Amino acid sequence: MGLDRHQNPAYSDVLYIDQLIGPDTVNTMPENTMDAFRDHGAARETLTAHVGEAQVTLAALDRAGISLDGITAKLATDGVKLFCDAFDKLNGALAEKRRRFLGPAHNSQTAALPEPLKSEVGKASEAWRAQGDIRRLWNEDAALWTGRDENDWLGWLDVIDAQLRDMPSLTEFAEEVQARPFTDALLLGMGGSSLGPEVLAESLGSARGFPKLHVLDSTDPAQVKNFEQKVDLARTLFIVSSKSGTTLEPNVLMEYFFDKAAAVIGRTDAGRHFVAITDPGSALEKAAAQRKFHRVFHGVPSIGGRYSVLSAFGMVPLAAMGRDVRAFLESARMMARSCGDDVPPAQNPGVELGLIIGTAARQGRDKVTIAASPSLASFGAWTEQLLAESTGKHGKGVIPIGDETLGEPSVYDAHRLLVYVRDAAHADAAQDKAIDALERAGQPVVRIGLKSPEQIAQEFFRFEIATAVAGALIGIDPFDQPDVEASKVAARELTDAYEKTGALAADTPVFRQNGIALYTDERNAAALRQAGANSTLESWLGAHFARIHDGDYFGVLAFIERNGAHFRTLQDLRTAVRDAKHVATCLQFGPRFLHSTGQAYKGGPNSGVFLQITADAASDVAIPGRKASFGVIEAAQARGDFRVLAERGRRVLRAHIGSDGGADPNSGLAALTKAARSALR
């Protein structure tokens, strides 16, 4: 670029033109320099003149320790940086104007962070800008994470446009559903195949004239029967959702409900009530063809289950609900553009959130508490899976905390980060007050504001970007789940053994009283006895709670029916532990958490203290073509997960509510909670 006289008056204002004229040469210059050259410049070949003299001069400079190569390299580096800085500043200004222009159509995000977290997030943000890391993410550069196969799992970055191109298929399907007398739609899936649709069903609901969507992701016999009784089998659309097509739970649920539907509709016509969502060529696609399913929708092989809600795994259920799929995707695309590769970190909502989560985790604030308005309550479970399964591995990661009843600031430790997803149309005043109090007390709080539940589409994409960014900061691959398979293998071994022998191997309790038996491995049993466990339930629970220390979290892992009564009772239990021990607590129901937060519990930081709860099935449910019932499979899954937790050195205790002692889940849970409160006192 030409210099003008204002930059250095000692130089000719056409110096950088006069001396750089030669064959095949292009020079750029500002308009005032061009005008000056027209006025008094000389058009002659100067670039090749006096080459010998120049070489002598350069040699003399080199002997004096002045390197031309070093000077030009620094000029190039500095020049590129100046151009990049200016370009990022321009993009940032455009992003801010776009945000202001969009106004309430775009979900807001603010962060109140204490020092030094705020300072470290600022440094991380500048590093990501200077290094062009957002462009690397969108360019699918695996080296941003661990350099292995991460670039094979980034199909979610552009799935919105792909789904918009597939709108004719989704529209046709919605019209077919509306034309048939369906009153219910029952989705059978696990993990990413079920948690996203659950958010859609509970936050948005079905349009008039379309079936109500239910989501079943459990092998608990009582829950299976409950859902069977909840729907009219003859007027139900069944959506079997499994990416791999080999996941145990969707397959046994499909076998069960296909048999039940066939008994009502007839085996020849039953397939017309079923559709499948699965990756191309999967075992489920083959089973759907054999059973003559009405439709098979394909997922994208390059998208992992927990990132799949904006693909067919979420959009097919949304279409079945009669919602405006195009408008939903357009809303999500708005967030995708705001998180694009041309938007610097400070104006990029997804990247900024990810930098906060990742930086907080590196500072020890690795318990990410998701608080959501009641209208968006199920969003917490979806976020838990996304964060836990993506970041919790190799002894690292964040532990997401969902469904927590917010408490007073005094019961919160210094290991929390709070993310508040607020629906302005259905805000909860008590929740607002609690968040305000926590922020005033110095807890870091990220606030995300939605105008209405319909804008939840944007949050799916925001949190996907944030999780990928947090994974890069933590230093893991956010797209694999190495510890999920361990529990599957353990459960499969137990169920295979049952198919051969007709029985699960007997366990020996370490304690039994009034229908409640406690089980654990030798290492944990010895530690509990040393901590004071003796002849009472309270002593064993007290010894277990005594193992909770600063920086830990407590988890209730319940393999029982997930219903309102059980949820409220176990919420009381986890809240009592939080208030007494001042640590984060979580409540999960099995087996669904095995495909979700279970990854972090087994593979993330060894800071969890777990109480697993199991119970005898009051009434078991058989599965067509299998010796193992739903109750047997659930028991095998619980035992398998317990075994892996113990093998990974986790502090874990199992409480089993047995019918042989006259206890049922309700009375057993009440007794367990009462004993826990006594132990905490």
The tens digit of pLDDT for each residue in 456-513 reads 999 999 999 999 999 999 999 999 999 888 888 888 899 989 989 999 988 999 999 9
**What number does CATH give the domain 106-139+341-474?**
3.40.50.10490
pLDDT for the residue numbered 202:
98
| φ, ψ dihedrals at 378, nearest 5° | -70, -15
Q: Is the pLDDT of residue 42 over 90?
A: no
pLDDT for the residue numbered 5:
43
pLDDT for the residue numbered 23:
86
Q: Is the pLDDT of residue 80 over 70?
A: no
**What percent of the chain is modeled with pLDDT above 90?**
80
Architecture (CATH level 2) of domain 159-330: 3-Layer(aba) Sandwich (3.40)
Average pLDDT for 264-272: 95
With H, G, I as helix, E, B as strand and everything else as coil, classify residue 168.
helix
Q: In 492-594, at which residue ranges do the beta strands (DSSP E only) sit?
A: 511-513, 516-519, 553-559, 584-589
Q: Is the pLDDT of residue 1 over 60?
A: no
Mean pLDDT of the chain: 93
Q: Is the pLDDT of residue 103 over 60?
A: no
**What number does CATH give the domain 484-680?**
3.40.50.10490
Instruction: Give the start-to-end residue ranges of the domains of the chain.
Output: 106-139+341-474, 159-330, 484-680
pLDDT for the residue numbered 70:
83
Taking each continuous run of H as one helix and of E as one strand, the counts in the chain are 26, 16
Under the banding of pLDDT at 50, 70 and 90, the label for residue 520 is very high
Amino acid identity of 436? D
H runs (alpha helix) in 180-274: 192-203, 221-230, 248-265, 267-270
Residue 308, judged by CB atoms within 10 A of its CB (0-12, 13-18, 19+), counts as: buried
pLDDT for the residue numbered 46:
85
**Using CA atoms, how far apart are residues 573 and 673, in angstroms rounded to an integer?**
6
Under the banding of pLDDT at 50, 70 and 90, the label for residue 621 is very high
Q: Is the pLDDT of residue 7 over 70?
A: no
Average the pLDDT over each of 91-105, 286-300, 456-470, 596-610 and give the range with the smallest value. 91-105
Q: Is the pLDDT of residue 91 over 70?
A: no
Contacts of 591 (CB under 8 A, 6+ apart): 190, 218, 219, 249, 559, 634, 637, 638, 641
Do domains 106-139+341-474 and 484-680 share one topology? The answer is yes
For residue 599, give both structure tokens: 């990854």
For residue 288, give both structure tokens: 């759907």
